[in-house]
């Protein structure tokens, strides 16, 4: 987020999606939408790339599985071999459960951490919160944020033409 921003709040998701298309047609590309709930198609309309959070989770899950199985096999065979009724030390079927639990645990913790970090949720205050109506983005308004590089009036006119409920300026 750089430069100067305008926020237009719409009453319904359909209007937001239409506004995104209009804004893109008019040549605005640094756009972002803010809404009280997840709306199918908004991220695509803006042009966000698909998230790779599942890839992170898959890799972390694989690491969890390897760590879990490796730890059990190593400690049961090398570090602390327990002869329990003559059963084989490398009794791998018995190790599968802990391996499975750690797969899930690693994947979910990594997914959560990735979600928090990538979404910037370590920063408790955002400049957007200073906009007078932005508190409604978690309630009943669907905002489109436009970055203004050149002519501020052109951007404002464009947004006015989309019949928003409010237009806010994000204080720099």
Partner 1 sequence: MSGRPTTTPDQAADQTEARQGPLRGPAEYLPEPMSYEAITSEVMNPLLMTRVGRIWWISLLVSLALTVMMVVSILWLFANGIGVWGLNQSNIWGFAIANYVWWIGIGNAGTLISSMLLLTRQRWRASVNRFAEAMTLFAAAIAGLYPILHLGRPWFFYWLMPYPNTMGVWPQWRSPLVWDFFAIASYLIFSLLFWYTGLIPDLATARDRAAPGLRRALYGFMSFGWTGSASDWLRLESFYKTAAAMAVPLVFSVHSVVGLDFAAGLAPGWAETIFPPYFVIGAAYSGFAMVVTLAIPIRWAFNLQGLVTRSHLNVMGKMLLFLSLIMTISYATEWFMAWYAGSEAERDLVLFKFFGAYAPYYWLMLACNCVIPLALWLPVVRRTPKLILGVALAINLGMWLERILITTTTPSHGHLPSSWQIYTPTIWDWTLWFGTLGFFTLLFLIFVRLVPFISLHEVKQFDWQRRRG
* Residues 143 and 35 sit within 8 Å (Cβ to Cβ): yes
Cβ count near 15 (within 10 Å) = 18
Which x/- pattern, by CB under 8 A, does the window 104-133 give for partner 1? xx-xxx-xx-xxx-xxxxxxxxx-x-----
Helix (H) / strand (E) containing 143: strand 142-148
Looking at 100, 147, 162, 169, which residue binds partner 1 (CB under 8 A)?
A: 100
Tell me the chain's radius of gyration from C-alpha atoms.
25
80-99: contacts with partner 1 (CB under 8 A): 80, 82, 84, 87, 91, 94-95, 97-98
CA distance readout (Å), 114 to 38, 86, 92, 118, 160: 19, 45, 32, 6, 37
Interface ranges with partner 1 (CB under 8 A): 12-14, 32-39, 42-43, 46, 48, 50-51, 53-54, 57, 71-72, 75-76, 79-80, 82, 84, 87, 91, 94-95, 97-98, 100-102, 104-105, 107-109, 111-112, 114-116, 118-126, 128, 135-140
């Amino acid at each position: 987020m750089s430069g100067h921003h305008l926020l237009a709040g719409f009453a319904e998701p359909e209007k937001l999606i239409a506004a995104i298309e209009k804004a893109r047609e008019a040549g605005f590309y640094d756009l972002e939408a803010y809404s009280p709930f997840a709306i199918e198609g908004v991220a695509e309309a803006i042009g966000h790339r698909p998230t790779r959070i599942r890839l992170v989770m898959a890799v972390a899950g694989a690491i969890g599985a390897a760590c879990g199985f490796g730890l059990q096999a190593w400690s049961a065979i090398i570090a602390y071999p327990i002869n329990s009724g003559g059963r084989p030390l490398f009794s791998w079927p018995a190790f599968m459960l802990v391996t499975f639990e750690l797969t899930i645990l690693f994947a979910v913790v990594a997914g959560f951490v990735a979600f928090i970090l990538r979404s910037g949720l370590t920063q408790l205050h955002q400049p957007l919160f200073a906009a007078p109506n932005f508190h409604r983005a978690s309630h009943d308004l669907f905002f489109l944020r436009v970055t203004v590089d050149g002519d501020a009036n052109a951007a404002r006119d464009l947004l006015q033409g989309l019949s928003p409920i409010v237009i806010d300026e994000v204080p720099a």
